[in-house]
């Protein structure tokens, strides 16, 4: 009799727990933001919302060009068995082959999904991972290597080489302190080192790795607290320096990948984030001043062919006045329309703005918390089976 009663109690608890687990799975929210279009090679894009650090609220959204519907928070319903969903702080998202890779910084892993279903494939453990790039059969992931904390004695970071067929780490290459974004030119991988954990003793170098030997072959002195990197069609690498937020301001440097030397310093081009399309380098800056306790926001397009600034504001209809903290930018490679995200106060849902090529707002939509990273896809996301 006792066994029977105990069995009933256990079954009741299990069923109750199962129901509670089901209730916690929040379905995605569809929003019709624009009429659909057909016949385009770009079928849609994924947007990774970072979520505030420590909140475990990284989320994934998807926009479908054919339907014009923006789907907010698709990961949970497509992966109901994944505990804690995407994890803590989504830092980068990229597509390579048939897989979608999301860098989950403070959860210390790369989430790998099927690009056509957004379903979980595996997680690759890499401590304090930051950004990802690809060449041939490998993915390269920058890693702070140590714990997530400010430390004047923080260790050197590294780049992990990941086999994209077995989805395992095959090798690591030590670079500078707190490495950030990377670009690949030929058989060379360039890594921007920030040294952000070692403030005020920032790193100021770009590490150059030979991909044949996977060894650092050169270290280029650039500027303090490096972060973003973009490659133009002439072999020049644009690198952002965040400065020290006090006396040294943000600016942009240019490295010639043929000589591996800095060929230009652009102090009048402050740079928080950038995206490139043909000869146009879209740059925005959100500089925080501890002196004035305020933000200074700017937008610009730099012409990589003429080496001139074409405009000091690529948003032409006044919509920038509604954007509190621009936090991400991406350009549709087919149409030239561009997207700017607004992180607002960093703790509430943000906004994604879509602009035409001439800088006029086409539509906007509410996203998850801290919308940041966009990956365009030529494969339509399939409906849930």
Per residue in 50-80, pLDDT (tens digit) is 999 999 999 999 999 999 999 999 999 999 9
Q: Are 166 and 181 contacting, i.e. CB atoms less than 8 angstroms apart?
A: no
What's residue 359's pLDDT? 98
Q: Indicate if the pLDDT at residue 13 is higher than 90.
A: no
Distance CA 339, CA 332 (A): 8
SS3 76: helix
Averaged pLDDT for residues 171-197: 98
Averaged pLDDT for residues 360-377: 98
Averaged pLDDT for residues 211-235: 98
What's residue 300's pLDDT? 98
What's residue 293's pLDDT? 80
- Higher per-residue pLDDT: 10 or 363: 363
Q: Indicate if the pLDDT at residue 133 is higher than 70.
A: yes
Q: Indicate if the pLDDT at residue 203 is higher than 70.
A: yes
What's residue 73's pLDDT? 97
Within 8 A by CB and 6+ apart from 159, the residues are: 140, 141, 142, 143, 172, 173, 175, 179, 182, 189, 191, 209
Question: For the CA atoms of the chain, what is the radius of gyration?
Answer: 22
Minimum mean pLDDT range among 12-26, 104-118, 242-256, 277-291: 12-26
pTM: 0.92
Averaged pLDDT for residues 116-123: 98
What's residue 1's pLDDT? 33
Q: Indicate if the pLDDT at residue 291 is higher than 90.
A: no
Q: Indicate if the pLDDT at residue 325 is higher than 70.
A: yes
Minimum mean pLDDT range among 23-27, 134-138, 224-228, 232-236: 23-27
Architecture of domain 29-377: 7 Propeller (2.130)
Q: Indicate if the pLDDT at residue 217 is higher than 90.
A: yes
User: Kind and range of the H or E element at 191?
Assistant: strand 188-193
Instruction: Say what percent of the chain tops pLDDT 90.
Output: 88
User: Kind and range of the H or E element at 125?
Assistant: strand 120-125
Minimum mean pLDDT range among 109-113, 196-200, 313-317, 381-385: 381-385
Distance CA 375, CA 266 (A): 28
Distance CA 32, CA 246 (A): 44
In the structure, what pLDDT confidence band is assigned to residue 24 with cuts at 50, 70 and 90? low
Q: Supply the mean pLDDT for the chain.
A: 93
In the structure, what pLDDT confidence band is assigned to residue 29 with cuts at 50, 70 and 90? very high
Pairing of strands 99-104, 109-114: antiparallel
What's residue 18's pLDDT? 40
């Amino acid at each position: 009799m006792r066994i029977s009663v105990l069995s009933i109690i256990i079954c009741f608890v299990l069923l109750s727990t199962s129901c509670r687990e089901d209730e916690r799975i929040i379905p995605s929210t569809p929003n019709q933001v624009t009429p659909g279009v057909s016949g385009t090679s770009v079928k849609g894009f994924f947007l990774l919302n970072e979520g505030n650090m420590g909140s475990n609220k990284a989320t994934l959204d998807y926009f479908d060009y054919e339907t014009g519907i923006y789907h907010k928070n698709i990961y949970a319903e497509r992966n109901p068995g994944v505990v804690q969903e995407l994890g803590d702080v989504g830092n980068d998202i990229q597509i390579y082959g048939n897989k979608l890779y999301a860098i989950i910084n403070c959860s210390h892993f790369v989430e790998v999904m099927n690009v056509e279903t957004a379903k979980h494939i595996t997680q690759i453990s890499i401590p304090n991972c930051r950004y990802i790039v690809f060449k041939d059969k490998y993915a390269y992931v920058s890693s702070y290597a140590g714990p997530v904390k400010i430390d004047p004695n923080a260790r050197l970071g590294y780049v992990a080489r990941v086999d994209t067929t077995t989805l395992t780490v095959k090798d690591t290459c030590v670079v500078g302190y707190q490495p950030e974004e990377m670009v690949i030119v030929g058989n060379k991988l360039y890594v921007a080192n920030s040294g952000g954990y070692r403030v005020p003793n920032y790193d100021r170098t770009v590490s150059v790795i030979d991909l044949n030997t996977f060894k650092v072959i050169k270290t280029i002195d650039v500027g303090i607290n490096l972060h973003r990197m973009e490659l133009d069609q002439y072999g020049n690498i644009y690198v952002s320096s965040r400065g020290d937020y006090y006396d040294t301001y943000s600016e942009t440097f240019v490295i010639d990948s043929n000589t591996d030397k800095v060929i230009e310093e652009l102090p009048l081009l402050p740079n928080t984030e950038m995206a490139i399309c043909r000869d146009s380098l879209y740059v925005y800056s959100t500089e925080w001043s501890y002196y004035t306790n305020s933000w200074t926001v700017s937008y610009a397009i730099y012409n990589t062919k003429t080496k001139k600034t074409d405009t000091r504001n690529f948003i032409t209809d006044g919509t920038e006045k509604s954007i509190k903290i621009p936090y991400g930018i991406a350009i549709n490679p087919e149409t030239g329309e561009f997207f700017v995200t607004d992180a607002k106060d960093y703790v509430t849902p943000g906004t994604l703005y879509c602009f035409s090529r001439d800088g006029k707002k086409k539509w906007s939509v509410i996203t998850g918390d801290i919308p940041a990273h966009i990956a365009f896809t030529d494969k339509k996301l399939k409906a849930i089976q």
